[in-house]
Amino acid sequence: MKPDKITSCKDPATRALANATTRGYAASDDNWSKYLEDALDNVKFRKIKDLYERHSAGEEIGFGPGAERVKDAFDHIAATVKARNGDARTADSLLRTTRIHIRFGMLNNCTADHKNPVGAVCLENAIVPEGHVGPLDERCRPDRCANSMIGPEHLPIYDSHQRTQLQLINNPSMPTCRRDLAERELDITRNVLKMAGEPR
């Protein structure tokens, strides 16, 4: 099956940004795999461009060490555009060629370079499956990782999770082992909210 337009990949491309396994499902067909890869790149570029425009407009785009690296890259691009007397097209070109690594996720955005994921907490003491490249999503620690970027869109999730864990902890009938787990979850959640300067 060969799609007529690249836009026909929109739905799987959007899902694949949050779930990279979709790439594996399509890999058996080289043509489809190429279309999907192109669609993913286009969706990701639009998201990065949106972040750049929001940052340029003075909006907050994220918190944490990963976010600071992205902001520094955007500031460098903006300075280069200004020095060249460039326009939006110049900015687009620089955004495409600058190495900005962002994997957009539900709980945070990962800014690790998948080919060289330095500082990725998820890889500490981990058994990496053969052939795997990049971070291990299921071991992500958004509150501790140097690659973590907490976006404003993630904060309501953490705020809700904090309330849920407090309810579990304050439930007198909760088993001790479940309460201990809730307390660990609460610590992680509070650390993320603290990173974002949110009241706890």
What pLDDT does residue 38 have?
75
Arithmetic mean of pLDDT, 176-197 = 94
Average pLDDT, the chain: 85
Give CA 36 to chain center in angstroms.
19
Angle, CA of 104, 17 and 118, to the nearest 5° = 55
Q: pLDDT band at residue 179, thresholds of 50, 70 and 90?
A: very high
What pLDDT does residue 10 have?
46
What pLDDT does residue 4 have?
43
In sequence order, what are the residues at sequence separation of 6 or more whose Cβ sits closer than 8 angstroms to the Cβ of residue 139?
Answer: 121, 122, 123, 126
Least confident of 74-78, 111-115, 154-158: 111-115
With 60 as the cut, is the pLDDT of residue 191 above it? yes
Starting at the edge strand found earlier in the chain, the sheet holding 103-104 runs 103-104, 109-110, 148-149
With 50 as the cut, is the pLDDT of residue 3 above it? no
Could you write out the DSSP letters of every residue in 32-47? HHHHHHHHHHHHHHHH
Arithmetic mean of pLDDT, 109-131 = 88
With 60 as the cut, is the pLDDT of residue 145 above it? yes
Arithmetic mean of pLDDT, 28-54 = 84
* Segment holding 109, helix H or strand E: strand 109-110
Question: What single letter denotes the amino acid at residue 78?
Answer: A
In sequence order, what are the residues at sequence separation of 6 or more whose Cβ sits closer than 8 angstroms to the Cβ of residue 24?
Answer: none
What pLDDT does residue 1 have?
45
With 50 as the cut, is the pLDDT of residue 31 above it? yes
Question: What single letter denotes the amino acid at residue 23?
Answer: R
Pairing assessment for the beta strands 148-149 and 109-110 based on DSSP bridges: antiparallel
pLDDT digits (tens, 9 = 90+) for 123-143: 999 888 888 888 888 899 999
Cα 77 to Cα 93: distance, rounded to the nearest angstrom: 10
